Amino acid sequence: MCPSKADPPPVMGLVTSKNFVVANAVETILAAPKKPAQATKDYLHKEDYGKVPKYLSQIKADINDEYEYIRQLQAQEDDRRNGQSTALGDEDRYKLIEGLKAKWEQVNTDYQATTHLTKLDTIGKVKRKEKYESTLQQIEKDIEKLNRKNIYIDQLS
């Protein structure tokens, strides 16, 4: 605090006989103890102690709804399979496999004629070669699928 002009100037050379260390010790001993700011909370006596939080109940309900939705989808799929699908007979399966093999032979012959006898110097030839390769791969995948034992065909209405 800055002294104002109305205050008298401080006395120079003023000496006191007060022992500040002893005075502070006595003052501290005689002072009343400070009260703690706040006691620690006792969580055992809270109103919601031991109860499941609301958000966990909501999450559990959401999970149960999702499981129910999945069960419904599986039931619909089972109904669809049971009512509208039939097994493919061995005779039909062999006919399809033979047809795919004939198609593979025809595509492979065209592939061999265009790629190995000529140079791949144009974009059209390169694209044609890629088309033959992808067709051959797809036919091979289809033949592998038809070699399975049980094949079901969906009857579309």
Q: Are residues 95 and 134 both part of a single domain? A: yes
42 Cβ contact partners less than 8 Å away, ≥ 6 residues apart: none
Q: Are residues 54 and 110 both part of a single domain? A: no
Dist CA 144 CA 93 (whole Å) = 12
Query: Cβ-count burial of 38 within 10 angstroms (0-12 exposed, 13-18 middle, 19+ buried)?
Result: exposed
The SS3 call for residue 100 is helix
Residue 123 lies in a domain: yes
Residue 21 lies in a domain: no
The SS3 call for residue 153 is strand
How do the pLDDT tens digits run along the chain, 157 residues long? 565 677 787 788 888 889 999 999 999 999 988 877 777 788 888 888 888 889 999 999 999 999 999 999 988 877 766 666 777 888 888 999 999 999 999 999 998 888 776 677 888 888 988 999 999 999 999 999 988 888 877 766 5
Dist CA 20 CA 28 (whole Å) = 12
Q: Are residues 72 and 100 both part of a single domain? A: no
Q: Are residues 130 and 93 both part of a single domain? A: yes
Number of domains present in the structure of the chain: 2
Q: Which of 86, 113, 145 is the last residue of a domain?
A: 86
H or E segment to which residue 49 belongs: none
Q: Are residues 100 and 147 both part of a single domain? A: yes
Spatial CA neighbour of 85 closest among 153, 149, 151: 153
Q: Are residues 109 and 127 both part of a single domain? A: yes
Query: Cβ-count burial of 5 within 10 angstroms (0-12 exposed, 13-18 middle, 19+ buried)?
Result: exposed
Dist CA 127 CA 137 (whole Å) = 15
Residue 78 lies in a domain: yes
pLDDT of residue 152: 76
pTM over 0.85: no
CA distances from 15 to 7, 10, 11, 24, 26 (A): 20, 12, 10, 19, 22
Q: What is the 3-state secondary structure (H, E, C) of 102-124?
A: HHHHHHHHHHHHHHCCCCCCCHH
pLDDT of residue 156: 61
Residue 142 lies in a domain: yes
Q: Are residues 122 and 132 both part of a single domain? A: yes
pLDDT of residue 81: 66
Q: Which domain holds residue 58?
A: 48-86
Q: Are residues 79 and 62 both part of a single domain? A: yes
